């Protein structure tokens, strides 16, 4: 985790009352969550020294052995035993220190040095003389360690703009009032943390990680995704019905698509939904493409009204330079915990919609284009039309003449 869910303080009274580092005990459960980063345990130097003192006293094993009874076994044998006992006693003391140190290190504690509350001395002594908590009505000097600990916690909380959760059995801690310290029951807190809050955080973090991966995927210009979009765009541009309004319902003979360029961008990308398997994403793809449309030009064709057929059919081509933005919706697969992927292009991304409305509007409103008429230069067309008209008139005259002779 990048940020802990809560900042907490565990008083010595709870540490002792919970049997120290007992397996499956409260302290071990707190340390397990601290090790994973879900909580941050604040440890003033005074509290750490108190913990170590109480832990060592309770963990120490006393061997009530005197030399005199041992000596009856003989000097040599008794001395061997006494040497082993001395070594064992020293090893056990080392073990106590090592167990305490390893437990404290695994919890990634936020340690506050002994001089951390030095600038709070006036406040501490004001409370002592006015008999405020933690000193109580008797103003006990023995409560000075608690006063320094509480001052350290309040200073740290205010410097970070946070609230520290306090877990204690000490009456002075329980009755202490502070805006930045809040007393909690350890078992209730741990149960809610493990069963509700951590799963919610893990869910959010997994979503955040997948979305971060999604942005990296888009920035990689993924070939597989772009290929799917290109196929959809090509299918759309190859559909002759999309040019009906532009060409006034002319019959289209051929459509050629050239220089189709797509540029996908993460800017303004929208997350539509997130489920266990996929993230539904709306992104925006820049498109630049050249399209040549060959169509039947009725105005330049010659119609034989008697034969009910064209004497000459004219075809025109229209070159369109199209630029637009395509909203594209696709499904981005989520990774299971611990899963890895080889490379971006191996991801099983599925395009579910390429919205071509914007592109259709560009086609419908296309005005700046250059017409050419097949392989026939424009300047030769009038002469051709004139020749065809004269030929038609001659054919009609000959037909009329033949009809008269036959009568």
Q: Does residue 141 have a pLDDT over 60?
A: no
Task: Tell me, letter by letter, the H, E, C secondary structure of 362-394.
Answer: HHHCCCCCCEEECCECHHHHHHHHHHHHHHHHH
- For residue 73, give both structure tokens: 């076994």
Residues 31, 40: contact at Cβ < 8 Å?
A: no
* Nearest CA-CA partner of 184 in 315, 30, 326, 398: 30
**What's the confidence (pLDDT) of residue 139?**
47
Least confident range from 38-47, 107-116, 118-127: namely 118-127
CA 45 to chain CA centroid, Å, is 38
Residues 189, 207: contact at Cβ < 8 Å?
A: no
Summarize pLDDT for 324-340 with one digit per residue, the tens: 999 999 999 987 754 55
How much is the average pLDDT of 38-58?
Answer: 95
Bond from prior residue into 27 cis (ω within 30 degrees of 0): no
Q: Is the pTM of this model over 0.85?
A: no
Dihedral angle of Cα 25, 31, 36, 40, to the nearest 10 degrees: 130
Q: In what order do the strands lie in the sheet with 6-10?
A: 110-112, 39-44, 6-10, 164-167, 181-183
Summarize pLDDT for 146-155 with one digit per residue, the tens: 889 999 999 9
Residues 350, 224: contact at Cβ < 8 Å?
A: no
DSSP letter (8 states) at residue 193: I
The continuous run of DSSP H or E covering 53 comes out as: helix 45-59
Residue 137 pLDDT grade (very low, low, confident, very high; cuts 50, 70, 90): low
Residues 6+ apart with CB under 8 A from 216: 344
**What's the confidence (pLDDT) of residue 143?**
77
Q: Does residue 374 have a pLDDT over 50?
A: no
What percent of the chain has pLDDT above 90? Answer: 52
């Amino acid at each position: 985790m990048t940020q802990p869910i809560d900042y907490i303080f565990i008083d010595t009274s709870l540490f002792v009352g919970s049997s120290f580092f007992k397996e499956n005990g409260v302290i071990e459960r707190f340390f397990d969550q601290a090790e994973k980063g879900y909580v941050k345990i604040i440890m003033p130097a005074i509290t750490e020294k108190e913990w170590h003192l109480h832990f060592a006293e309770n963990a120490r094993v006393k061997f009530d052995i005197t030399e005199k009874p041992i000596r009856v076994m003989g000097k040599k044998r008794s001395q061997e035993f006494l040497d082993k006992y001395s070594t064992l006693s020293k090893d056990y003391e080392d073990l106590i220190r090592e167990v305490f140190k390893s437990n404290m290190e695994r919890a990634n504690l936020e340690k506050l040095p002994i001089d951390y509350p030095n600038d709070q001395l006036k406040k501490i002594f004001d409370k002592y003389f006015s008999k405020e908590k933690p000193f109580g009505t008797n103003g006990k000097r023995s409560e000075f360690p608690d006063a320094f600990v509480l001052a350290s916690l309040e200073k740290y909380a205010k410097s970070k703009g946070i609230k520290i959760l306090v877990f204690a059995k000490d009456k002075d801690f329980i009755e202490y009032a502070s805006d930045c310290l809040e007393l909690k029951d350890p078992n209730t807190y741990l149960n809610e943390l493990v069963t509700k809050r951590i799963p919610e955080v893990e869910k959010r973090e997994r979503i955040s990680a997948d979305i971060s991966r999604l942005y990296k995927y888009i920035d990689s210009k993924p070939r597989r995704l772009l290929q799917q979009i290109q196929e959809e765009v090509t299918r759309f541009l190859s559909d002759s019905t999309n040019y009906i309004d532009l060409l006034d319902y002319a019959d289209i003979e051929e459509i050629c698509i050239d220089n189709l360029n797509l540029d996908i961008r993460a800017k303004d990308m929208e997350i539509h939904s997130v489920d266990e398997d996929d993230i539904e994403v709306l992104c925006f793809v820049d498109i630049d493409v050249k399209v040549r449309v060959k169509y039947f030009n009725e105005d330049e064709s010659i119609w034989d009204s008697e034969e009910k057929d064209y004497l000459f059919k004219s075809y025109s081509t229209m070159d369109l330079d199209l630029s637009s933005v395509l909203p594209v919706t696709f499904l981005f697969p989520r990774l299971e915990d611990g899963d890895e992927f080889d490379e971006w292009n191996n991801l099983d991304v599925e395009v579910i919609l390429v919205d071509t409305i914007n592109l259709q509007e560009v086609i419908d409103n296309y005005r700046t284009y250059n017409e050419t008429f097949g392989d026939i230069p424009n300047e030769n067309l009038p002469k051709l039309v004139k020749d065809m008209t004269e030929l038609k008139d001659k054919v009609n005259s000959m037909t009329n003449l033949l009809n008269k002779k036959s009568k």
